[in-house]
Amino acid sequence: MQLYNTLSAKERAELIEKAGKDRLTLSFYQYAKITNPQEFRDQLFIVWNQLDVLGRIYVATEGINAQLSLPADRFNEFKTHLDNIDFLKDIRLNIAIEQDNLSFLKLKVKVRHKIVADGLNDDTFDVTNKGIHVGADTFNELIEDDNTVLVDMRNHYESEIGHFKNAITPDVDTFRESLDIIEDDLKEHKEDKNLVMYCTGGIRCEKASAYFKHKGFKNVYQLEGGIIEYTRQVNDKGLENKFIGKNFVFDERRAEKISDDIIACCHQCGEPADVHTNCANDACHLLFIQCDKCKEEMNNCCSNNCKDIHALPYEEQKALRKGQGNSNDIFKKGRADHLPYKKDLRNIFETLKVDKK
């Protein structure tokens, strides 16, 4: 019985192209008590592999976090399967704004300690005492209120290419880092301000809102379904779009365009750009923003050194990598020292003051 992916990304891409079928990219999450996550994981893999589902799915005792794609003509089968699982019945599915048949090329279902790496001890607070969920229309009203502080719960490389107008964007590498920073900088406003949060699909705000309520914040709100659902509602209801730029996503697409604004710059030349790429040097794979001109000049690489290595025959590259492991740059996500126009570190309240008049 197959319980793990056996095809390479290249082989899968060829099969997808040959099939000639449109695929749907979507995501969902649910906090729920899963007694045996390994058994649940195996059951999901068996069914989803048969449905030609591809994606990245995390299962833990606290629930499931799924980002995936599947053939559009098998969506109803997939939805029926979810509805037959008690805690996933009628779950909201965040359908991607921009579709790409190659958004995922492998099915990876992994058992993790948590479905989001938040670094929190859930036994120390009530994780079910969450903030008030609001839709796009109420969210738009709230963020225009002078009594509101709007906070982006994503990491710096996500908000760099797109965020809501007037949002505070913590300059952090991980979700866990932002929690203490936000609490400390807003400690004087726990009772007199509306704390409104958002993230990509809503999952980070689920835990963050409960954490901030535990820390004494009285008026906590979160955007239902995150940026993905917000965009769908804006389009469906004809609402004003208050998001500028692109929404970073964790698949091969890397981003969805929400507005035509380009708010970031190429990390190599400084010209307006908002397309993330991974350095083509297999020993690097740094994630950074690169414009078309630099992409051509640098052969998809982040530095001249990587460009030189990438130009070598494959076997020579492989020999150079032997025993070296991945470069630490892979974890820097646009902050490597050799990128001249990387995003500057700054205090999250340097450009936006909380005390609005």
CA distance linking residue 104 with residue 23, whole number of Å: 10
Whether 334 and 342 have beta carbons less than 8 Å apart is answered as yes
* Helices and strands, number each (H, E), in the chain: 11, 14
CA distances for 275 relative to 247, 265, 266, 272, angstroms: 11, 9, 8, 10
Residue 326 three-state SS: coil
Residue 54 three-state SS: strand
Domains of the chain: 9-111 (3.30.70.100), 276-331 (no CATH)
CA 118: distance to chain centroid? 14
- What phi and psi, each to the nearest 5 degrees, are found at residue 162? 180, 140
From the number of C-beta atoms within 10 Å of its C-beta (0-12, 13-18, 19+), residue 251 rates as buried
CA distance linking residue 309 with residue 326, whole number of Å: 14
Radius of gyration of the chain (CA): 21
Structure tokens of 317? 């590259």
From the number of C-beta atoms within 10 Å of its C-beta (0-12, 13-18, 19+), residue 121 rates as exposed
Whether 343 and 335 have beta carbons less than 8 Å apart is answered as yes
Give 10-residue mean pLDDT values along the chain (357 residues). Answer: 89 95 97 96 97 98 97 98 98 95 97 92 91 98 96 96 95 91 93 97 95 97 97 97 97 96 97 96 93 98 95 91 66 84 59 43
Whether 167 and 150 have beta carbons less than 8 Å apart is answered as yes
- Residue 333: its pLDDT value, please? 83
- Residue 356: its pLDDT value, please? 39
Residue 173 three-state SS: coil
Q: Measured at the alpha carbon of residue 119, what is the angle toward residues 118 and 123, in degrees to the nearest 5?
A: 100
Active site residue 199: yes
This prediction has a pTM of 0.89
Q: Of the listed 199, 266, 284, 301, which one is catalytic?
A: 199
- Residue 329: its pLDDT value, please? 60
**6 Cβ contact list (under 8 Å, min separation 6):** none
- Residue 76: its pLDDT value, please? 98
- Residue 326: its pLDDT value, please? 60
